[in-house]
Homo-oligomer: A and B are copies of this chain.
């Protein structure tokens, strides 16, 4: 790889580590700044960024091992770390989204039994297309198959979950809508990064740098910024629901 390309990916992966690691500590320490009923959502958010921090450490090492000055012959960059990460974190991102609403138990289960398997399926179907283990199908076919559960998730979030929003305050409704848009915008980056690398034959540096940069920025927005927005929603709802809490935590 060229020095510039190497530096870009190297610094992006390190940015990924730092973002994930310290969003985790912030959320873990910050969970006591929300009411107990919202702490589960904050803890799940911290778990997501912690899992991602682990995988970013692994990816960083894998990348340096494959392309760095001490590169070992035969070592190759393992994109599998990303898919293992997403397989765990993407369902959890939907869990934190539902958890922060603090819905009635039944409404919550009904959303989760549909969102969680769809998210796992979406990731599992993307991996063969991105890793080269295509099992006889074109990468674009795997990309397309993976899009079906993605569309189903969007349907549940925008149509089904929309019905649960009516009972929330206006400030919360606005934040949840921002959250959904962030999810749509960031999850939309993954297919673009996927496509950037899809038609590369063998190793193509530009496609590789674009893909890794795209995945990393999308990950930081979809996990760190998303987790911090979940935290903000939990803070707003805590303030709305408990006068004593609001007086202790906020000026106005």
Chain A interfacial positions (CB closer than 8 Å to B)? 4, 7, 10-11, 14-15, 17-19, 21-22, 25-26, 28-31, 33, 35-37, 39-40, 43-44, 46-47, 50-51, 54-55, 58, 68-70, 72-75, 78, 80-81, 83-85, 87-88, 102-105, 131, 133, 248-252
Contacts and interface: CB of A to CB of B under 8 A. Distances in A.
Nearest to A252: B104
Contacts of A58: 14
Given A37-B250, A72-B70, A248-B37, A80 B10 contact: yes
Contacts of A68: 75
Contacts of A47: 22, 25-26
Q: So how many copies of this chain end up in the complex?
A: 2
Given A15-B87, A54-B18, A69 B80 contact: no
A54 B21 contact: yes
Nearest to A84: B15
Main secondary structure of the interface of A (DSSP, over half): helix
B80 A7 contact: yes
B37 A251 contact: yes
16 contacts: A4-B133, A7-B131, A7-B133, A11-B80, A14-B80, A28-B29, A29-B31, A30-B40, A35-B248, A36-B248, A36-B249, A37-B249, A69-B73, A69-B74, A70-B72, A105-B250
Nearest to A75: B69
Contacts of A75: 68-70
Contacts of A15: 84, 87-88
